[in-house]
Chains A and B, each alone.
Chain A
Amino acid sequence: MKKISTPYLLLLPGFAFLFTFFIFPILSLAQVSTATPISGGDVGEFEQTFRFRNYLEAFLESREHFGRSLVYALLATIIALLISYPLAYALAFKSGKYKNILLVLVVAPFFTSFLLRTVAWKQILGEEGFVVPPLRTLGIISESTTLTSTAGAVILGMAYNFLPFMTLPLYASIDRIDPRTLEASGDLYANGFTTFRKVTLPLSMPGLVAGTLLTFIPAAGDYVNAELLGGPNNTMIGNVIQSRFLIPDYPTTSALSFMLMAAILIIVVVYIRKAGTDEVV
């Protein structure tokens, strides 16, 4: 009897907390998402009318932002992966006695405030930074071209900010690969590319799946990078949710939040199925 109840006792405080402050809020969000403003009531007062059209209207109004969020997040994830994979590989196999130092150095930049780093990028790439004026003088970019307020800046900013979420799981997975399996592949006349495709990549899949998810999810809901590094044409769904929340237009905020979560969950489930690994959960 004791053996059965112990785990439940251990779970009780944490799960009671998560039910109260995670599950319950999500449900209350669901409840608010179909509400409408009380006629004649104060600003911010809503009543439940089960108006599912809220979803359709919210979606039609901000479908552009939805599309942009998913595309930006996807591109940021791909860039982060392209930067992180060789980095994680080099850390695991090529760094020798410097491994621990280099690993600390990969994480270290993220000890500086995330907002301050993003502001730093904004200033570096901005009009008064040390990149734009020389490029203008050299005639590489025209007078009217800016580096900030562009989609590229937002995407690179997100790739930068979520990089450790990509690098660390990748490193953990690649570091676990026995170097002898790679030697064996070489002994069996596989060239470098074949060894990578048939041995290294499949063995690093758990890290790759975890890393891409941990990058994609926060990127899809982010609004700080779009706000600091982007312009009016780069606003994402996060910006819409944030601004709607301040009005306050809670039904639209909630409906948008739900659709964002649903989109992400669908992508995650399909992706995990396709990638064929359950190790993430």
Chain B
Amino acid sequence: MTSPKKESIVSKRPLGASISRWFGKNLIRVYMALAFTYLFIPVVYTFVFSFNDSGKSNITWQGFTFEKWLNPCGAPRVCEALGNSIKIGLLATIFSTILGTLIAFAIGRYAFKGRSASNLLIFLPMATPEIVLGASILSLFLVLQVNPGFWPTVIAHVVFCVSFVVVTVKARIASIDPRLEQAAMDLYANEFQTFRRVTLPLVAPGIAAAALLAFSLSFDDFIITNFNSGTVTTFPKFIYGAAARGIPAQANVIASAVFFLALALVVIGQVVSRKRKVS
């Protein structure tokens, strides 16, 4: 068998190469299909059951209805919980993005004494299990005689979001070609102008990505919230509390809506960044 040079990089056996290549190619497709099915089963399930004409509990299929989508706040307290999650998420995002971006610039841009210790301090919250973080922050509030509630939750969220912001923004800073800033300085831009006109626009997508990450981490957090929120109910807390007696289909509606909104944001972000690259 005279086989020409193959572009296949993995299988290198001359005999039956085309068969094994065909199989290998489709094996990957089959594998991807299986993996994505596994990933999406609960998402599809949640979406489908948002149309369930169910009462209090939403476990068995009762029939199709649009009613829950038309009236997502129909279940008691579900929209209040959603509102709290959004408020806490936005505040935690703003604070953690500001603090984290400043740290990322310090670590990403400067050589200074204590830089590796700083890296360690950023890594530690990520290496601490949520339950330990949640318990320890609450123990501080108890010592200070601050009741758990809205602001303690915001603070606790900022603690675990900061590290993720630092890591994300730092990666973006590291990818910037330093010659671009040198060029700006060569063209008589001062330090501030260089930062504002060159560095910041280049880092901005990283900051935006970090903010989105922080928001989604905060929005979806349960364990730390459960420790520090007291009587304030967030959306995950609502689901957890309802899990025992039955989750209303409105929760599925909200979760599905959040899913599509986030998906749309990511797709728009991708399209915008591709257009920028082209131009």
Contacts and interface: CB of A to CB of B under 8 A. Distances in A.
Interface of A: 3-4, 6-8, 10-11, 13-15, 17-18, 21-26, 28-29, 32, 83, 86-87, 90, 94, 100, 102, 104-121, 123-124, 126, 128, 160, 163, 179, 182-183, 186, 189-192, 195-196, 213-214, 217-218, 220-224, 228, 238, 241-242, 245, 250, 253-254, 257-258, 260-261, 264-265, 268, 280-281
B180 interface: no
A108 to B, nearest CB: 6
Contact of A108 (B112, B118, B259): B259
Contact of B106 (A7, A160, A192): A7
Contacts of B60: 128
Interface stretch (B36-44, B63-71, B182-190): B36-44
The 5 lowest CB-CB distance pairs between A and B, nearest first, are: A221-B129, A120-B42, A10-B106, A111-B262, A25-B136
Contacts of B155: 21
Interface string B250-265: 0110011011001100
22 contacts: A3-B110, A11-B107, A21-B156, A28-B136, A29-B135, A86-B31, A104-B263, A113-B235, A117-B42, A121-B41, A123-B59, A124-B42, A191-B12, A214-B126, A220-B129, A241-B135, A242-B226, A245-B227, A250-B142, A254-B139, A261-B128, A280-B123
B118 A15 contact: yes
Interface in B43-69: 43, 45-46, 49, 59-60
Interface of A is mostly: helix
Q: How large is the interface on B (under 10, 10 to 19, 20 to 34, 35 or more residues)?
A: 35 or more
B255 A116 contact: yes
A100 B12 CA distance: 29
A83 B243 contact: no
Interface of B: 9-13, 25, 28, 31-32, 35-36, 38-43, 45-46, 49, 59-60, 98-100, 102-103, 105-107, 109-110, 112, 115-116, 118-121, 123-133, 135-140, 142-143, 155-156, 158-159, 162, 166, 216, 220, 222-223, 226-227, 235-236, 239-240, 243, 247, 251-252, 255-256, 258-259, 262-263, 266-267, 270
A24 B144 CA distance: 12
